[in-house]
Structure 1
Amino acid sequence: QVVVVGDGACGKTSLLNVYISGTFPEGYEPTVFENHCVDVVVDGTAIELALWDTAGQEDFDRLRALSYADTNIVLLCYSVDQPTSLDNIETKWIDEIRHYCPGVKLALVALKCDLRQEPRTQSKLAQSGERPVEYQEGLAMARRIRASLYLECSAKYNRGVQEIFEEAS
């Protein structure tokens, strides 16, 4: 079982939609709780991969906790255009994961990597004295939280999406 967590609007559902159906959703609709099953082959063996999409908003903290039972790996997600979403990995998400599923394998996943070099994103963040999260910053966070994997992707352009779930399987 793979559980996907991270701040609201960081791109978790888009990541799953692109992986499952190959389509990038237009617009944003907050997720409450969804799960999907896909058949994959790992080391020559067919397995069913259960993917759990969770709500990032605090209103759903108690509901989200129900998704952690029987988890094999947690994808801790942040968006490169939301620096606070990376900060929250350390200040919120890692504590929640360690509380509900101690010892579970962790992967830190950078989402929306296509926005890192996008001038509009850079300009918007600069207005508040921020900038997009760089690869090395994500890698440093992965080391601090002792994640087994650090991966980056762009669901919009379907870059790195397949690799995330291959590594997670």
Structure 2
Amino acid sequence: MRKRTLGLAVATIATASTIVLAGCTGQSEPTPPASPTPSSSGITMPDLDQFTTAPSGTPLDEEGGATTVDPKPAPPWDAEQRAAAIAAAEKALTTFARPDLSSADWWAALSPLLTSQAQQDYQYVDPANIPAHQVTGAGTIVDDSSRYAVSVDVPSDAGMYTIVLTRINGAAPWLAARFTPPEGTH
């Protein structure tokens, strides 16, 4: 099979050389390229040694950049993990609901608590337009169908916010992915 592929490559190079030389000598019609000779099955296989193998352990993450595969086991979903998710949601909303801060101060405090996608989504929010000023009670998990994503309702002086949190593994912190304000507020 390798000889046939090598022969096909040589024939292709020879044909291309003939066409180029014909153009240089003023010959009006180039010689048509030779057709590859198919194998007995009718299929010509490419030389697989000419291709680069795919890298291992570097899939693209959600932002399109390379990341390594995290071999950590799935996190437990116990009372401690649930309490950590609620605390992270309350902290995120407490930091988010600060319309009294300048944009720069608000962003400096909030951005470390956000996923990279949420950082893109919220970077141009004017904190003066946020209707909530403070958290008024304890958060409650409303969707915990995944160990890596959770929705938590957190009461505020403007009504109930739903905070969506995510994490990449059990050792990673919960990060806010979305703040959904109460209905009727903007």
Higher helix share: 1
What is the TM-score with the length of structure 2 in the denominator? 0.17
Higher strand share: 1
Relative contact order, higher structure (CA 8 A, sep 6+): 1
Q: Which has the larger radius of gyration?
A: 2
What is the TM-score with the length of structure 1 in the denominator? 0.19
